[in-house]
Structure 1
Amino acid sequence: MRTTIVKIKTLAFSILFVVVVIGCTSKNKDSTKDTQKVTSQNLISTVIDSINSEINNGDYGLIDRFIVIQNDEVLADFRYKQDYETIAQKYDTTNHQYNFNSTDWHPYYKQSELHTLQSVTKSITSILFGIALDLNEDYNVDNKAMPLLTGYDTDFLDKRKQNISIEDLLTMRSGLKWNEETDHNDNTNDCFLLESSDHWIEYVLSKPMDTIPGTRFVYNGGGTVLLGKIIRTITGKRIDDWAEEKLFKPLGITDYYWKETPDGEIDTEGGLYLKAEDLAKIGSLFLNKGKWNNKQIVSESWVTTSTSPLLKNVKPQWRSVTGYGYQWWIPEYTDNGKTSIYSANGYGGQYLMVAPEHKLIIVFNGWNINDEPEKSTYRALQDRIIPTLKK
Structure 2
Amino acid sequence: MLRYLPLLLAFGSSVHAGELDGVTTAIEAGDFKQITSVVVAQHGKLLYEHYFDKDGADSLRNTRSVGKTVAGMLVGLAIERKLLRTDTPVLPYFPELRPLAHADPRKDKITVEDFLTMSSLLECDDDNQHSRGNEERMYLVEDWSRFVADLPIRGFPEWQPRPEQSPYGRAWSYCTAGVTLLGPLLEKVSGQRVPDFAAANLFKPLGIDKVKWQFQPKGSAMTGGGLQLRSVDLMKLGQLYLDGGRWNGQQVMPAEWVRRSIAPHANAREGMDYGYLWWLQPFTANGRTVQSYGMAGSGGNKVLVLPELDAVVVITTTNFQVRDAHGLSEKLLTKLIMPALMRP
> 1:315 maps to which residue?
269
- Number of residue equivalences: 320
CA distance in 1, matches of 2:316, 2:132: 28
CA contact (8 A) 2:301 2:317 kept: yes
Q: Give 2:53's match in structure 1, choosing from 81, 84, 94.
A: 81
Q: Rg bigger for which structure?
A: 1
> 2:87 maps to which residue?
142
CA contact (8 A) 1:146 1:154 kept: no
Structure 1 runs of 4+ off > 6 angstroms?
Answer: 186-189
Superposed CA deviations along residues 32-81 of structure 1, whole A, max 9, x for unmatched, are xxxxxx4xxx35743x2333322111121111101111112111111102
CA distance in 1, matches of 2:280, 2:6: 26
> 1:244 maps to which residue?
199
Q: Which amino acid aligns with 2:273?
A: G
> 1:92 maps to which residue?
none
CA contact (8 A) 2:305 2:312 kept: yes
Q: Which amino acid aligns with 1:329?
A: W
CA contact (8 A) 2:123 2:131 kept: no
Superposed CA deviations along residues 269-307 of structure 1, whole A, max 9, x for unmatched, are 012110101111101111111111111111011111111
> 1:54 maps to which residue?
26
Long gaps (5+) in structure 2: 156-161, 164-168, 284-289
CA distance in 1, matches of 2:218, 2:265: 34
Matched, 1:289 2:218: no
Task: Give 1:116 shift.
Answer: 0.6
Q: TM-score, normalised by structure 1?
A: 0.75
Task: Give 1:224 shift.
Answer: 0.5
Percent same amino acid among aligned pairs? 28
CA contact (8 A) 2:59 2:230 kept: yes
> 1:208 maps to which residue?
152
Long gaps (5+) in structure 1: 1-7, 18-37, 83-107, 334-338
Superposed CA deviations along residues 319-364 of structure 1, whole A, max 9, x for unmatched, are xx1110000000129xxxxx92110001122210001122101001
Q: Which amino acid aligns with 1:350?
A: N
Q: Give 1:171's match in structure 2, choosing from 114, 117, 122.
A: 117
RMSD: 2.7
Q: TM-score, normalised by structure 2?
A: 0.85
> 1:362 maps to which residue?
313
361-370 or 192-201, which deviates more: 192-201
Q: Counterparts in 2 of 1:1-391, with a 5 A limit?
A: 10-12=5-7, 13-17=9-13, 38=14, 42=15, 45-46=18-19, 48-81=20-53, 113-136=59-82, 139-153=84-98, 157-181=103-127, 190-211=134-155, 215-312=170-267, 314-316=268-270, 321-332=271-282, 340-372=291-323, 376-382=328-334, 384-386=336-338, 389=342
CA distance in 2, matches of 1:387, 1:81: 25
CA distance in 2, matches of 1:245, 1:355: 28
Task: Give 1:264 shift.
Answer: 0.8
Task: Give 1:383 shift.
Answer: 5.5
SS of equivalent to 2:70: helix
CA contact (8 A) 2:75 2:186 kept: yes
Task: Give 1:385 shift.
Answer: 3.9
